[in-house]
Amino acid sequence: MSKVLAFLLILTIPNMAMADDASDSSELEGLYDLYQTVRHFCGGISDRISSVSGVSKINTAVTAVGTVAAGGALAFGIAKARTDEYIEELQKQICERGGCDPDKIDQMSDDEFFGNVIHPLTEAIEADMELKRLQDEQAAEIEKSKRQGKWRTGLMVGSFGTNVASAIIAGLNRNQSDLIQQITACNAAVNKLSAARNAAIRSGIDPIENPILGEFNDTIQTCGTLDIADVEKIEKRMTVVMGTSIGGAVISAIGTGTSIAANTDSVRNDDTAAGKQQEKNLNTAANVSAGLATATGAVGTGFNISLISLTRKLLKSAEQCEDTL
Protein backbone atom coordinates (compact mmCIF):
# COMPACT_ATOMS: atom_id res chain seq x y z
CA MET A 1 0.00 0.00 0.00
CA SER A 2 2.80 2.41 0.91
CA LYS A 3 4.40 1.80 -2.45
CA VAL A 4 1.21 2.80 -4.22
CA LEU A 5 0.95 6.03 -2.22
CA ALA A 6 4.54 6.92 -2.96
CA PHE A 7 3.97 6.33 -6.66
CA LEU A 8 0.87 8.56 -6.69
CA LEU A 9 2.76 11.32 -4.87
CA ILE A 10 5.54 11.22 -7.42
CA LEU A 11 3.01 11.66 -10.18
CA THR A 12 1.15 14.53 -8.44
CA ILE A 13 4.09 16.78 -7.52
CA PRO A 14 5.15 17.60 -11.11
CA ASN A 15 1.55 18.34 -12.02
CA MET A 16 1.25 20.78 -9.10
CA ALA A 17 4.46 22.51 -10.15
CA MET A 18 3.20 22.80 -13.70
CA ALA A 19 -0.06 24.27 -12.39
CA ASP A 20 1.88 26.87 -10.34
CA ASP A 21 4.00 27.76 -13.34
CA ALA A 22 0.88 28.20 -15.45
CA SER A 23 -0.68 30.40 -12.74
CA ASP A 24 2.47 32.55 -12.50
CA SER A 25 2.61 32.92 -16.27
CA SER A 26 -1.04 33.97 -16.36
CA GLU A 27 -0.49 36.60 -13.66
CA LEU A 28 2.59 37.96 -15.41
CA GLU A 29 0.67 38.20 -18.67
CA GLY A 30 -2.04 40.14 -16.85
CA LEU A 31 0.58 42.47 -15.42
CA TYR A 32 2.07 42.99 -18.86
CA ASP A 33 -1.36 43.85 -20.26
CA LEU A 34 -1.82 46.44 -17.47
CA TYR A 35 1.66 47.80 -18.24
CA GLN A 36 0.62 48.28 -21.87
CA THR A 37 -2.41 50.21 -20.64
CA VAL A 38 -0.10 52.48 -18.64
CA ARG A 39 2.03 53.03 -21.73
CA HIS A 40 -1.06 53.93 -23.73
CA PHE A 41 -2.45 56.50 -21.30
CA CYS A 42 0.79 57.93 -19.87
CA GLY A 43 2.70 58.19 -23.13
CA GLY A 44 2.55 61.57 -24.89
CA ILE A 45 1.66 63.61 -21.82
CA SER A 46 4.99 65.44 -22.01
CA ASP A 47 4.12 66.67 -25.53
CA ARG A 48 0.88 68.21 -24.25
CA ILE A 49 2.66 69.84 -21.32
CA SER A 50 5.42 71.12 -23.61
CA SER A 51 2.73 72.82 -25.68
CA VAL A 52 1.32 74.51 -22.58
CA SER A 53 4.83 75.55 -21.54
CA GLY A 54 5.49 77.04 -24.97
CA VAL A 55 2.26 79.03 -24.80
CA SER A 56 3.22 80.33 -21.35
CA LYS A 57 6.62 81.46 -22.61
CA ILE A 58 5.10 83.24 -25.62
CA ASN A 59 2.48 84.93 -23.48
CA THR A 60 5.12 85.98 -20.95
CA ALA A 61 7.02 87.74 -23.74
CA VAL A 62 3.81 89.36 -25.02
CA THR A 63 2.70 90.66 -21.61
CA ALA A 64 6.25 91.81 -20.82
CA VAL A 65 6.34 93.87 -24.02
CA GLY A 66 2.93 95.31 -23.18
CA THR A 67 4.08 96.20 -19.68
CA VAL A 68 7.16 97.94 -21.03
CA ALA A 69 5.01 99.82 -23.58
CA ALA A 70 2.57 100.99 -20.91
CA GLY A 71 5.47 101.95 -18.65
CA GLY A 72 7.03 103.89 -21.49
CA ALA A 73 3.73 105.68 -22.11
CA LEU A 74 3.62 106.64 -18.44
CA ALA A 75 7.21 107.90 -18.57
CA PHE A 76 6.49 110.03 -21.63
CA GLY A 77 3.29 111.28 -20.01
CA ILE A 78 5.15 112.37 -16.89
CA ALA A 79 7.85 114.03 -19.03
CA LYS A 80 5.15 115.78 -21.03
CA ALA A 81 3.56 117.12 -17.84
CA ARG A 82 6.92 118.59 -16.81
CA THR A 83 7.38 120.09 -20.27
CA ASP A 84 3.91 121.66 -20.11
CA GLU A 85 4.69 123.15 -16.71
CA TYR A 86 7.87 124.67 -18.14
CA ILE A 87 5.88 126.04 -21.10
CA GLU A 88 3.55 127.79 -18.64
CA GLU A 89 6.53 129.27 -16.81
CA LEU A 90 7.97 130.54 -20.09
CA GLN A 91 4.56 132.01 -20.94
CA LYS A 92 4.58 133.98 -17.69
CA GLN A 93 8.03 135.39 -18.46
CA ILE A 94 6.94 136.30 -22.02
CA CYS A 95 3.84 138.06 -20.70
CA GLU A 96 5.91 139.96 -18.14
CA ARG A 97 7.96 141.35 -21.02
CA GLY A 98 4.90 142.46 -22.98
CA GLY A 99 4.87 139.52 -25.38
CA CYS A 100 1.26 138.64 -24.62
CA ASP A 101 -0.31 142.04 -25.29
CA PRO A 102 0.70 143.87 -28.49
CA ASP A 103 -1.47 146.85 -27.49
CA LYS A 104 0.20 147.23 -24.12
CA ILE A 105 1.97 150.47 -25.14
CA ASP A 106 -1.31 152.14 -26.05
CA GLN A 107 -2.64 151.35 -22.60
CA MET A 108 0.36 152.79 -20.74
CA SER A 109 0.19 156.08 -18.85
CA ASP A 110 2.77 158.75 -19.63
CA ASP A 111 4.88 157.75 -16.63
CA GLU A 112 4.72 154.08 -17.64
CA PHE A 113 5.54 154.99 -21.21
CA PHE A 114 8.62 157.05 -20.26
CA GLY A 115 9.65 154.53 -17.64
CA ASN A 116 9.19 151.41 -19.72
CA VAL A 117 9.51 152.49 -23.35
CA ILE A 118 11.79 155.51 -23.47
CA HIS A 119 14.86 153.85 -22.08
CA PRO A 120 18.32 153.42 -23.46
CA LEU A 121 18.37 151.82 -26.87
CA THR A 122 20.73 149.09 -25.70
CA GLU A 123 18.29 148.07 -22.98
CA ALA A 124 15.46 147.96 -25.52
CA ILE A 125 17.49 145.74 -27.84
CA GLU A 126 18.43 143.44 -24.96
CA ALA A 127 14.78 143.23 -23.86
CA ASP A 128 13.66 142.39 -27.39
CA MET A 129 16.36 139.77 -27.71
CA GLU A 130 15.38 138.14 -24.40
CA LEU A 131 11.72 138.16 -25.41
CA LYS A 132 12.61 136.56 -28.73
CA ARG A 133 14.72 133.94 -26.94
CA LEU A 134 11.86 133.08 -24.60
CA GLN A 135 9.40 132.83 -27.46
CA ASP A 136 11.74 130.57 -29.47
CA GLU A 137 12.34 128.39 -26.41
CA GLN A 138 8.63 128.14 -25.75
CA ALA A 139 7.95 127.14 -29.37
CA ALA A 140 10.59 124.41 -29.11
CA GLU A 141 9.10 123.16 -25.82
CA ILE A 142 5.61 123.08 -27.36
CA GLU A 143 6.90 120.89 -30.19
CA LYS A 144 8.65 118.71 -27.62
CA SER A 145 5.40 118.39 -25.66
CA LYS A 146 3.56 117.36 -28.85
CA ARG A 147 6.17 114.68 -29.60
CA GLN A 148 5.94 113.35 -26.07
CA GLY A 149 2.17 113.23 -26.40
CA LYS A 150 2.45 111.28 -29.67
CA TRP A 151 4.92 108.83 -28.12
CA ARG A 152 2.58 108.32 -25.19
CA THR A 153 -0.31 107.64 -27.57
CA GLY A 154 1.73 105.26 -29.71
CA LEU A 155 2.92 103.26 -26.71
CA MET A 156 -0.63 103.06 -25.35
CA VAL A 157 -1.71 101.63 -28.71
CA GLY A 158 1.10 99.06 -28.36
CA SER A 159 -0.06 98.20 -24.85
CA PHE A 160 -3.62 97.72 -26.14
CA GLY A 161 -2.44 95.38 -28.90
CA THR A 162 -0.32 93.20 -26.62
CA ASN A 163 -3.12 92.95 -24.05
CA VAL A 164 -5.56 91.80 -26.72
CA ALA A 165 -3.05 89.23 -27.98
CA SER A 166 -2.37 87.98 -24.46
CA ALA A 167 -6.09 87.64 -23.69
CA ILE A 168 -6.63 85.61 -26.87
CA ILE A 169 -3.65 83.33 -26.20
CA ALA A 170 -4.66 82.68 -22.59
CA GLY A 171 -8.32 82.22 -23.53
CA LEU A 172 -7.56 79.64 -26.21
CA ASN A 173 -5.32 77.62 -23.88
CA ARG A 174 -7.19 78.09 -20.61
CA ASN A 175 -9.22 74.88 -20.91
CA GLN A 176 -6.95 71.89 -20.21
CA SER A 177 -9.70 69.28 -19.79
CA ASP A 178 -8.04 66.91 -22.30
CA LEU A 179 -4.79 66.96 -20.33
CA ILE A 180 -6.67 66.43 -17.07
CA GLN A 181 -8.52 63.45 -18.55
CA GLN A 182 -5.30 61.88 -19.83
CA ILE A 183 -3.49 62.29 -16.50
CA THR A 184 -6.57 60.88 -14.69
CA ALA A 185 -6.52 57.83 -16.97
CA CYS A 186 -2.74 57.51 -16.51
CA ASN A 187 -3.03 57.60 -12.71
CA ALA A 188 -5.85 55.03 -12.76
CA ALA A 189 -3.80 52.68 -14.95
CA VAL A 190 -0.77 53.09 -12.69
CA ASN A 191 -2.85 52.30 -9.60
CA LYS A 192 -4.20 49.13 -11.21
CA LEU A 193 -0.70 48.04 -12.20
CA SER A 194 0.54 48.71 -8.68
CA ALA A 195 -2.28 46.70 -7.08
CA ALA A 196 -1.76 43.77 -9.50
CA ARG A 197 2.01 43.79 -8.90
CA ASN A 198 1.55 43.68 -5.12
CA ALA A 199 -0.99 40.87 -5.48
CA ALA A 200 1.41 38.90 -7.67
CA ILE A 201 4.20 39.20 -5.09
CA ARG A 202 1.83 38.14 -2.31
CA SER A 203 0.81 35.11 -4.38
CA GLY A 204 4.41 33.93 -4.36
CA ILE A 205 5.92 35.28 -7.58
CA ASP A 206 9.54 36.10 -6.79
CA PRO A 207 10.70 39.58 -7.99
CA ILE A 208 14.27 38.31 -8.20
CA GLU A 209 13.34 35.44 -10.51
CA ASN A 210 11.05 37.77 -12.45
CA PRO A 211 12.99 41.05 -12.90
CA ILE A 212 10.15 42.47 -14.97
CA LEU A 213 8.39 43.13 -11.66
CA GLY A 214 11.19 45.56 -10.83
CA GLU A 215 10.67 47.33 -14.14
CA PHE A 216 6.98 47.63 -13.40
CA ASN A 217 7.86 49.15 -10.04
CA ASP A 218 10.01 51.84 -11.71
CA THR A 219 7.06 52.78 -13.90
CA ILE A 220 4.73 52.87 -10.88
CA GLN A 221 7.13 55.09 -8.92
CA THR A 222 7.71 57.66 -11.69
CA CYS A 223 4.32 57.76 -13.44
CA GLY A 224 2.47 58.02 -10.14
CA THR A 225 3.87 61.53 -9.51
CA LEU A 226 1.69 63.33 -12.08
CA ASP A 227 -0.71 65.58 -10.20
CA ILE A 228 -4.02 66.82 -11.64
CA ALA A 229 -3.98 69.65 -9.07
CA ASP A 230 -1.03 71.18 -10.95
CA VAL A 231 -3.02 71.21 -14.20
CA GLU A 232 -5.95 72.82 -12.39
CA LYS A 233 -3.55 75.50 -11.14
CA ILE A 234 -2.50 76.10 -14.74
CA GLU A 235 -6.14 76.63 -15.72
CA LYS A 236 -6.72 79.07 -12.86
CA ARG A 237 -3.59 81.09 -13.62
CA MET A 238 -4.41 81.29 -17.31
CA THR A 239 -7.85 82.57 -16.30
CA VAL A 240 -6.15 85.30 -14.25
CA VAL A 241 -3.86 86.18 -17.16
CA MET A 242 -6.84 86.40 -19.50
CA GLY A 243 -8.73 88.61 -17.04
CA THR A 244 -5.84 90.99 -16.45
CA SER A 245 -5.15 91.19 -20.18
CA ILE A 246 -8.77 92.04 -20.94
CA GLY A 247 -8.69 94.69 -18.21
CA GLY A 248 -5.39 96.02 -19.53
CA ALA A 249 -6.81 96.22 -23.06
CA VAL A 250 -9.81 98.24 -21.86
CA ILE A 251 -7.61 100.58 -19.83
CA SER A 252 -5.16 101.01 -22.72
CA ALA A 253 -8.00 101.78 -25.13
CA ILE A 254 -9.33 104.47 -22.80
CA GLY A 255 -5.83 105.85 -22.29
CA THR A 256 -5.18 105.94 -26.03
CA GLY A 257 -8.35 107.93 -26.71
CA THR A 258 -7.63 110.32 -23.84
CA SER A 259 -4.02 110.83 -24.93
CA ILE A 260 -5.11 111.60 -28.51
CA ALA A 261 -7.68 114.12 -27.26
CA ALA A 262 -5.15 115.82 -24.97
CA ASN A 263 -2.71 116.32 -27.83
CA THR A 264 -5.10 117.83 -30.38
CA ASP A 265 -4.51 121.45 -31.47
CA SER A 266 -8.02 122.48 -30.44
CA VAL A 267 -7.28 121.47 -26.84
CA ARG A 268 -3.68 122.67 -26.76
CA ASN A 269 -4.48 126.07 -28.28
CA ASP A 270 -7.36 126.86 -25.97
CA ASP A 271 -5.76 129.51 -23.72
CA THR A 272 -8.84 130.07 -21.58
CA ALA A 273 -8.76 128.95 -17.95
CA ALA A 274 -11.32 126.23 -18.73
CA GLY A 275 -9.35 125.12 -21.78
CA LYS A 276 -6.08 124.85 -19.87
CA GLN A 277 -7.80 122.90 -17.10
CA GLN A 278 -9.33 120.53 -19.63
CA GLU A 279 -5.89 119.86 -21.13
CA LYS A 280 -4.43 119.12 -17.70
CA ASN A 281 -7.33 116.81 -16.84
CA LEU A 282 -6.96 114.88 -20.08
CA ASN A 283 -3.20 114.52 -19.62
CA THR A 284 -3.66 113.36 -16.03
CA ALA A 285 -6.29 110.81 -17.10
CA ALA A 286 -4.00 109.51 -19.87
CA ASN A 287 -1.11 109.13 -17.42
CA VAL A 288 -3.32 107.35 -14.88
CA SER A 289 -4.44 104.93 -17.61
CA ALA A 290 -0.81 104.27 -18.54
CA GLY A 291 0.01 103.57 -14.90
CA LEU A 292 -2.92 101.15 -14.51
CA ALA A 293 -2.04 99.39 -17.77
CA THR A 294 1.53 98.99 -16.50
CA ALA A 295 0.25 97.47 -13.25
CA THR A 296 -2.10 94.99 -14.95
CA GLY A 297 0.65 94.03 -17.39
CA ALA A 298 3.01 93.35 -14.51
CA VAL A 299 0.41 91.11 -12.83
CA GLY A 300 -0.17 89.17 -16.06
CA THR A 301 3.57 88.78 -16.63
CA GLY A 302 4.02 87.52 -13.06
CA PHE A 303 1.34 84.86 -13.48
CA ASN A 304 2.82 83.79 -16.82
CA ILE A 305 6.22 83.36 -15.19
CA SER A 306 4.63 81.22 -12.47
CA LEU A 307 2.99 79.17 -15.24
CA ILE A 308 6.40 78.47 -16.78
CA SER A 309 7.68 77.22 -13.41
CA LEU A 310 4.61 75.04 -12.89
CA THR A 311 4.69 73.49 -16.36
CA ARG A 312 8.43 72.82 -15.97
CA LYS A 313 7.69 70.75 -12.85
CA LEU A 314 4.94 68.79 -14.63
CA LEU A 315 7.06 68.31 -17.73
CA LYS A 316 9.92 66.86 -15.70
CA SER A 317 7.58 64.31 -14.07
CA ALA A 318 6.03 63.37 -17.42
CA GLU A 319 9.42 62.90 -19.10
CA GLN A 320 10.69 60.73 -16.24
CA CYS A 321 7.55 58.61 -16.55
CA GLU A 322 7.94 58.17 -20.30
CA ASP A 323 11.61 57.22 -19.88
CA THR A 324 10.51 54.11 -17.96
CA LEU A 325 7.84 53.05 -20.47
Does position 34 have pLDDT exceeding 90, yes or no? no
Confidence band of 4 (pLDDT split at 50, 70, 90): very low
Does position 15 have pLDDT exceeding 60, yes or no? no
* Distance, CA of 287 to chain centre: 22
Q: Has residue 100 been placed in a domain?
A: no
Q: Has residue 314 been placed in a domain?
A: yes
Confidence band of 29 (pLDDT split at 50, 70, 90): confident
Q: Are 276 and 142 in contact (CB under 8 A)?
A: no
Q: Which residue has the higher pLDDT, 46 or 211?
A: 46
Mean pLDDT is lowest, of 156-160, 211-215, 230-234, 255-259, for 211-215
Q: Has residue 57 been placed in a domain?
A: yes
Q: Are 263 and 81 in contact (CB under 8 A)?
A: no
Q: Which residue has the higher pLDDT, 318 or 21?
A: 318
Query: Which residues span the domain enclosing 212?
Result: 43-72+153-324
- Angle at alpha carbon of residue 243, lines to 237 and 249, rounded to 5°: 135
Q: Who's near 35: CB < 8 A, 6+ residues apart?
A: 193, 216, 219
Q: Dump pLDDT digits (tens) for 52-98.
A: 889 888 999 999 999 999 999 999 999 999 998 988 888 888 777 76
* pLDDT over 70, % of the chain: 82
Q: Dump pLDDT digits (tens) for 152-210.
A: 999 999 999 999 999 999 998 888 889 999 999 999 999 999 888 888 888 777 767 77
Provide the greatest CA pair distance for the chain: 160
Mean pLDDT is lowest, of 111-125, 138-152, 278-292, for 111-125
Return d(Cα 251, Cα 163) in angstroms, integer.
Answer: 10
Q: Are 310 and 55 in contact (CB under 8 A)?
A: no
What does the pLDDT read at residue 121? 47
What interhelical angle do 2-42 and 212-223 show, nearest 10? 30
Q: Has residue 194 been placed in a domain?
A: yes
Q: Has residue 196 been placed in a domain?
A: yes
Using only C-alpha atoms, the chain has a radius of gyration, in whole angstroms, of 40
Confidence band of 246 (pLDDT split at 50, 70, 90): very high
Does position 103 have pLDDT exceeding 60, yes or no? no
> How far, in Å, are 192, 201, 203 from residue 20 at the CA level?
23, 14, 10
Q: Has residue 251 been placed in a domain?
A: yes
Number of separate domains in the chain: 1
Q: Has residue 103 been placed in a domain?
A: no
What does the pLDDT read at residue 214? 76
Residue-wise DSSP of 120-172? -HHHHHHHHHHHHHHHHHHHHHHHHHHHHHHHHHHHHHHHHHHHHHHHHHHHH
Q: Has residue 162 been placed in a domain?
A: yes
